[in-house]
Amino acid sequence: MQLTKFLIGTAVALATVTSPVAAKKKDKDEASAPKSKFNKDPYPSTYQPYASVPTAVTNVIVYDGEGAKFQNATVYFRDGKVEGIETGGALKDGYTVIDGTGKWVTPGIIDIHSHLGDYPSPGVDAHSDGNEATGAVRPEVWAEHSVWPQDPGFSRALANGGVTALQILPGSANLFGGRSVTIKNVYARNVQGMKFPGAPYGLKMACGENPKRVYGSKGQMPQTRMGNMAVNRQTWARAAEYKRKLDKGDTVTRDLAMETLAGVLSGEILVHNHCYRADEMSLVIDMAKEFGYKVSTFHHAVESYKIADLLAKEGICSAMWADWWGFKMESYDAINENIPMVFKANACTIVHSDDANGIQRLNQEAAKAAGDGRRMGIEVPDEVVWTWLSYNPAKALGIGDKTGSLKPGKMADIVLWNGNPLSVYTRPDKVWIDGALMYDAANPKMRPVADFELGQPGEGDVK
Ligand SMILES: [Zn+2]
């Protein structure tokens, strides 16, 4: 059958865990004790950009990812970084020139909600590693420890979708699903070789039907929405206590679950909360205030349009589908105008996939939502629509200073589209990550193939 021959070689950096051994002396030294003796980054990124050449893409229409549009422009990048967008003037020397006449350039798409690697595609039970559904409170698990770097879905997201970075989240069976990981969309021998350098961790949480269904059906708590909230609040109370001890320098037994939650309370780890109903999102906002943390983004958020003013006031993003709804009761009161209505209220607007197929067509999802907005009188220019796909997700992931737009000095994560990127007929022509050409529609040798796929029918398939 299938031969897997990928190498597992590079150093998986072992956690240098310094256990607190001696009981603390109650003396004046206490004030200078370290806040935490535990290594906060035991599985660091080993990502190295692929080789790049100085490149100039000429004669293109550019959406810069922050809402600006340039006509007949040239995009320059070198040493993995964006140098600038120029209109007019002579072409600078020393660049590989790509004529983009009739084409568009945008920042690469960033999918803030994916399970690639944890639920690889095509999927089999043996690879179903996204939900540790053995308890409603599982903040101790890390999505990266389930990521299978050979998932063929990564290459499809790159070649068909122009996706250059993505957040891999645990599933939504649990109230506290575990830590997420943000990765560059490149193949590597292990997940550390994909990890986005400097990206903060996220914590996946889930409201509503999933946790109460998964555990309620087993006769366990939570069985109701009030049960969800009770378990959540009790857990945050424990986390606050754990953090107080760490901050005081007290000796604590290392608790991986509490360590993640203490990271949220100290602002180092960003909360990504799966939540559909407006009333539940507003309860979560109050719960976050009760315990002193902040929600970065509500995911799915099909009723964000009902509380868009509140989301804008609180500075919370909504990651949404254009028109995927009705598959359960809590997803029933969706409207196709959700995304443009959130945008119109000046709340942070993001288009996400949560799907191995949807991630290949996020540009079309954004286009559908923009069209629904226009039909009800909300006009969002195409170049502003692109902020939903690149800069806004980058900011919500804590990497907005590094990628997500074409500002000089940022990572050259760039897509050249063979037409208007909001058209259903358009496909990526070329994709660069950190300035390195990772996909080229004109060159079959530049179509990424997972090691696992080598020699199998349809390897590296591009539709
Ligand atoms: Zn999901």
Does the pLDDT at position 6 exceed 50? Answer: no
Split at pLDDT 50, 70, 90, the class of 36 is low
pLDDT at 35: 57
Give residue 168 CA to ligand 1 midpoint distance, Å.
9
Look over the chain and give the mean of its residue pLDDT values, rounded to a whole number.
92
Q: Ligand 1 mean position to 354 CA, how many Å?
A: 5
Taking residues 105-125, what's their average pLDDT?
Answer: 96
Mean pLDDT of the region 409-436: 98
Residue 340 is predicted with a pLDDT of: 98
Q: What is the pLDDT of residues 278-331, one digit of tens each?
A: 999 999 999 999 999 999 999 999 999 999 999 999 999 999 999 999 999 999
Ligand 1 centre to CA of 376 (Å) is 29
> Would you state the pLDDT for residue 125?
93
Expressed in angstroms and rounded, the spacing between residue 298 Cα and the centre of ligand 1 is: 12
User: In the prediction, which pLDDT does 447 show?
Assistant: 86
pLDDT value at 14 more than 60:
no
pLDDT value, residue 89: 85
Q: What is the mean pLDDT of residues 424-449?
A: 95
Q: How far, in Å, from the CA of 31 to the mean position of ligand 1? A: 43
Domain ranges of the chain: 39-453
pLDDT, one tens digit per residue, over 354-365 is 999 999 999 999
Domain at 39-453: CATH architecture: Alpha-Beta Barrel (3.20)
9 alpha carbon – ligand 1 mean position (Å):
30
| Gap between the Cα atoms of 387 and 379, Å rounded | 14
Residue 463's pLDDT is what?
57
CA 355 to centroid of ligand 1, rounded, Å: 7
Q: What is the pTM of this model?
A: 0.92
Listed residues: CB within 5 A of ion ligand 1: 354
**pLDDT for res 5:** 31
pLDDT at 34 > cutoff 50:
no
